[in-house]
Amino acid sequence: MRSRLLCLAILSVLAVPAWAIDVDGRIDPAEWQGAEHVTDFKVVEPLTRASSPYPTEAWVLATPEGLAIGFRNTQPASVPRTYRRTQRDEDAQVDRVNLMVDFDGDGRTGYNFTVNLTDGIQDATITNESRFSKDWDGNWQHAVSEDGDTWSVEMLIPWYIAPMRKGVGGKRTMGIYLDRVIGSTGQRLAWPAASFTLPRFLSDFTPVAVPVYSQSLLAITPFVVGGYDNIAGTDHFDAGADIVWKPNGQTQLTAAINPDFGQVESDDLVVNFGANETFFSDKRPFFTENQGIFEFGMPSDNSQLLYTRRVGGPADDASGPGDITAAVKLNGSLGAYKYGLFAAEEADDAGRSFRALRLVRDYDQQNVGVMLTQVDHPYLDREATVFGIDHNWRPTEQWNIQTRLVGSQVDQAGDTVRGSGGTVWADYNFGNGWRSQWIVMHFGDSLQLNDFGYLSRANLNYAHWQVSRRDTDLPETSAYSSHEWRLRVGATDNDHGLALQRQFRAMLQSNLRDGGNEYMQVNVNSAGYDDRILRGNGILRLPPNFNAFYERSRPRKGNWEIYGNIGVDNGGIGGNGPGNGRKLGYNAQFKPTYFVSDAFNVFGLLYVENTPQWMVWQHDNLLGTFREHALEIDAGVNWTIGDKQELRIKLQAIGLDARLRQAWRIAGDGTPMPSSEHVDDFSLRNLGFQVRYRYELAPLSDLYVVYGRGGYLLEEFAQDPASQLRDAFALRDSEQLLVKLSYRFEL
């Protein structure tokens, strides 16, 4: 605490008048006069908090044009530099620097700006302490230069990049975090010595007082899309626009007319025969622009009250995606309060209306917020309303406690259904590498969030306790730089008291000195029940089982980068081996990447899966267990052509074969009973192929040319997965050529 107060006092010198910064990547002492000079970088990956082994300097300066950051990084010839060229927002183990800034200093929303050695960039939002989303893109300046054993970076982040509260007494207090990553070793050097691997990250940024500057912005980004469907022999054209208006530092209005549904992006192929919905991220510009205020997540995977993929998602009449007419979003602050308003309308008789209201208030050691969403489905005569309260509390340096309370009301055809839920997530840092975590979740049977939000399942009660220990005191001769052990015990019931699972989990996360990572996990599960697989037609009793997983990544060495994983499990029902035991299933993935040059790489991924007792629901209480084999091939090319152009080729093909082992009728108490009823074998194949060319005309202004082809075929007979995979390349359910042009005008 004392060091943070000292930093705050020192950084108050930023109030001096600022010179303009010429963002050319060269640290000119005259330009950076009056800036705060930061040299106290610590090692946070591995999390030793030792002094930086490589001299690293940074400068922080508030100017009328924006927040300016400079880095000078010493890197001797003995530490190889990574010159890989990356596409925007591409993850890569390369030499890079990060500026992370919480403009309001309240620990609620942060922004990450990354520049690597070849001037490639990433930008992302940070919510819920350490949840990063790269779907957001901002307009900011950056440049890189090299000089002997140093390389330098300059950034300029305009004040209109995000809505901010008013300052107090002519000053604004922000939270700042700076770090540098050594690509060849994976070491991360940071100021302050915070880590996103800990429960508290965003709220541990160093408070920085700067003069209040404000910029207005009016940006209009019209776009046109033309496409040709080679299957139907038809063409189509569409147009729309995104509008951003920021009249002052406290208010931002974003609007979209006929918003882009992400035609130039492609989701990964997923084969899902389960009862839970697959989650997909959103990349449409309007829906990612300063979306952080609407973050309301819970510990359940990807759960949130506002899931923007619902807007323009499958229409209520099952005719395809909804046609979005317009959408508007208003973000801002009023005194100590921050607010967000969201509305979107779909066209046609099956169109829906989406509305959301968000309000948050920050205090010294806690913040609290409320959120209200409503969706009107005229076609279904349905109106769904959800209300939530979130509370984040940091009572001491050791404790971090997050609480969420939610309630839903659905009115449909004259009937009203209400539901509720809540979660508590508490982390305690003992020090010396020891941490403990408690999570409790309750989602009532009648809770319904998925009209606008995402919840993988309701009707759930869950609790776990986890203890972890981080060890960074490893000998220099060790191949590892750190280990973190985690042990967890958990219990899951449904909301009617049915014991679904009791689990013991052991995990080991390790960082290697070659810059790579290892992760191992073992789960031992008690006997329990599955209350979802029969889709409301009963429950299924499951025997005890276990599963294990191991993965290893190694960054680029020479021309090769390697990733692989393997998993084993003995899940399922019934016997299929001596003594009525269950055989092990397995899955494995191997992904090598070959670098033809720093700007051009080719990757291939092979995935194999064998599940001896794959359970697939048929109808009512009839279940089939299958011997399932699957093969998947992913391959692609990434070519960064200069500073303005990039080419990406992406191929995914899946072949799956499922041969019936046994049909089962499930008794009322969940006991599976062998049945002689006929259940078909089946097989499937799936294809996704895309070639995407992008030319950057100006910041956030692009020309895309995209060719895409895909197909899916499910057949009621078995065919080996290799044949299915081969035949997948002949699929041609869809084939389109798209050209999209968007240009941002700033007025």
**Could you tell me if residue 57 is inside a domain?**
yes
Encoding tokens for residue 555? Answer: 């960054």
CA atoms within 13 A on the CB side of 405: 5
Domain-located, residue 613? yes
Q: Are strands 622-641 and 645-666 parallel, antiparallel or unpaired?
A: antiparallel
The pLDDT score that the predictor gives to residue 18 is: 44
d(CA 160, CA 216): 6
Residues of the chain by 3-state class (helix, strand, coil), percent to 5: 5, 55, 35
Q: How many C-beta atoms lie closer than 10 Å to residue 680's C-beta?
A: 12
| Residue 546, domain member (yes or no) | yes
Within a domain: 264: no
pTM attached to this predicted model: 0.89
In whole angstroms, what is the distance from residue 64 CA to residue 671 CA?
Answer: 71
The number of C-alpha atoms within 13 Å of 348 and in the hemisphere containing its C-beta is: 13
In this structure, which amino acid lies at residue 320? G
Residue 413's Cβ-count burial label (10 Å; 0-12, 13-18, 19+) is: exposed
Residues 6+ apart with CB under 8 A from 133: 124, 125, 127, 281, 288, 291
Residue with tokens 């049909």: 663
* pLDDT in the model for residue 579: 41
End-to-end CA distance of the chain: 44
60 by Cβ neighbours in 10 Å (0-12 / 13-18 / 19+) ranks as buried
Question: Is residue 332 classed as helix, strand or coil in its secondary structure?
Answer: strand
Could you tell me if 223 and 74 are in contact, meaning their C-beta atoms sit under 8 angstroms apart? no
Q: Is residue 483 part of a domain?
A: no
Q: Is residue 89 part of a domain?
A: yes
Structure tokens at 147: 């000089």
Residues 143 and 132 sit within 8 Å (Cβ to Cβ): no
Q: What is the pLDDT of residue 575?
A: 60
Per-residue pLDDT tens for 346-392?
998 899 999 999 999 988 889 999 999 999 999 999 999 999 999 99
CA 556 to mean position of chain CA atoms: 24
Q: Cα separations (Å) of 19 from 34, 79, 208, 606?
A: 8, 35, 19, 54
User: What is the C-alpha to C-alpha distance for residues 593 and 606, in angstroms, rounded to an integer?
Assistant: 12
Supply the pLDDT for residue 5. 44
Residues contacting 2, CB < 8 A, separation 6+: none
Angle at 70 between CA 67 and CA 76, to 5 degrees: 160
Exposure class string for 71-97: b at 16+ Cβ within 10 A, else e: bbbebeeebebbebbbbebbebbbbbb
Radius of gyration from C-alpha coordinates of the chain: 27
Task: From 147, 179, 213, give the residue that closes a domain.
Answer: 213
Please report the pLDDT score of residue 559 as a whole number.
96
| pLDDT tens digit sequence for 28-80 | 999 999 999 999 999 999 999 999 999 999 999 999 999 999 999 999 999 99
Q: What is the C-alpha to C-alpha distance for residues 202 and 93, in angstroms, rounded to an integer?
A: 23
Residue tagged 């449904």 (tokens) = 494
Residue 416 is assigned to a structural domain of this protein: no
- Asked, for residue 125, whether it belongs to a domain, the answer is yes
pLDDT computed for residue 517 by the predictor: 95
Tell me, what CATH number does 45's domain have?
Answer: 2.60.40.1190
In the prediction, which pLDDT does 500 show? Answer: 97
CA–CA dist 66, 60 (Å, integer): 11
Domain containing residue 150: 2-213
CB 664 within 8 A of CB 624: yes
Residue 122's contacts (CB-CB under 8 Å, 6 or more residues apart) are 88, 89, 90, 91, 112, 113, 114, 134
Closest CA to 33 of 47, 52, 19: 19
SS (H, E, C) 680-691: CCEEEEEEEEEE
For residues 398 and 430, give the distance between their C-alpha atoms in angstroms, rounded to a whole number. 7
Tokens of 425: 């997530």
- Residue 364 structure tokens: 């010294």
Number of domains observed in the structure of the chain: 2
Per-residue pLDDT tens digits for 194-229: 999 998 999 999 999 999 998 999 999 999 999 999
CA–CA distance, 145 with 154 (Å, rounded to integer): 9
What values do phi and psi take at 187, rounded to 5?
-70, 140
Name the nearest CA neighbour of 146 among 124, 109, 117: 117
Between the CA of residue 346 and those of 2, 44, 240, 493, what are the distances in Å? 54, 47, 14, 38
CA nearest to 182, candidates 53, 88, 89: 53
Write the burial class of residue 364 (CB in 10 Å: 0-12 exposed, 13-18 middle, 19+ buried): exposed
Under 8 Å CB-to-CB from 243, ≥6 apart: which residues? Answer: 218, 219, 220, 221, 253, 254, 255, 256, 257
State the DSSP code for 128. Answer: T
What would the DSSP string read from start to end of 185-241? T--EEEES---TTSS--GGGSEEEEEE-----EEEEEEEEEEEEETTTTEEEEEEEE
Spans of the chain below 70 pLDDT: 1-19, 260-264, 575-582
* Token output for 227: 């496409």
Instruction: Report the pLDDT value the prediction gives residue 214, as an integer from 0 to 100.
Output: 86
Name residue, tokens 């919905």. 277
